[in-house]
Amino acid sequence: MAINTESKSARLSDDLIDDFIKVRKYKSMSQAELAKKSGLHQAAVGRIENKSTDPRLETILKMLNTMGYTLTIIPAFFEPEYATTLEINGVMESLSDESLKRIKAYADALYEEELKRKQEAFEKLMSLAKPMDIGDDYKAILEEELIRKYEGLD
């Protein structure tokens, strides 16, 4: 069974235009203002947004640049993660400085809590290893293995 690339391509194009419209509205720009700042006609921006024309890449890049954005190519398998990141970034841009400070403080506290939990787990494993008489060579090897394992979790 063949993949219908035309419909996938159309969906991607529609999604791009939908995101483009969200960015323009987030920036509180009218079609006319965007057109003027991009060196385009307002009717051209309107046709792009109502999806009655397929814009050239140069036109999209020009309009995105006018709004302070760029176009990024990412592997398809990152798409859900990237979409979540874009959604979070969009929300973050709309928050006050005070709210951003509170979110950062909360994130820092979560990070410290996670580090503490990992350190406690590491110390517990080390304490379990100490009573065993496995010889100094094996103790050093075990300790190196545990350190390597838990350093990678940061």
Q: Residue 5: pLDDT band by 50, 70, 90 thresholds?
A: very low
Mean pLDDT of 102-129: 86
The answer to whether residues 83 and 90 touch, using CB atoms and an 8 Å cutoff, is no
Give the model's confidence band at 134: pLDDT under 50 very low, under 70 low, under 90 confident, else very high: low
Rounded to an integer, what distance in angstroms lies between the CA atom of residue 130 and that of residue 139?
A: 8
Higher pLDDT, 87 or 82: 87
For residues 110-118, give the mean pLDDT.
91
What is the pLDDT averaged over residues 111-128?
85
5-74 is classed CATH 3.40.50.150: no
pLDDT tens across 27-76, in order? 889 999 999 999 999 999 999 999 999 899 999 999 999 998 888 776 66
Instruction: Report yes or no: 81 and 63 within 8 Å, Cβ to Cβ.
Output: no
Residue 2, pLDDT score: 46
List Cβ<8 Å contacts ≥24 apart for 44-49: 48/17, 48/20, 49/17, 49/20, 49/21, 49/24
Q: Give me the residue label for tokens 């075990």.
A: 142
Helix residue ranges, H only, the chain: 5-26, 31-38, 42-49, 57-66, 79-93, 97-129, 136-151
Q: Which tokens in the block code for residue 100? A: 């951003």
Q: How far apart are CA 12 and CA 17, in angstroms?
A: 9
Helix (H, G, I), strand (E, B) or coil at 153: coil
The mean predicted confidence, pLDDT, of the chain is 81
pLDDT at residue 1 is higher than 60? no
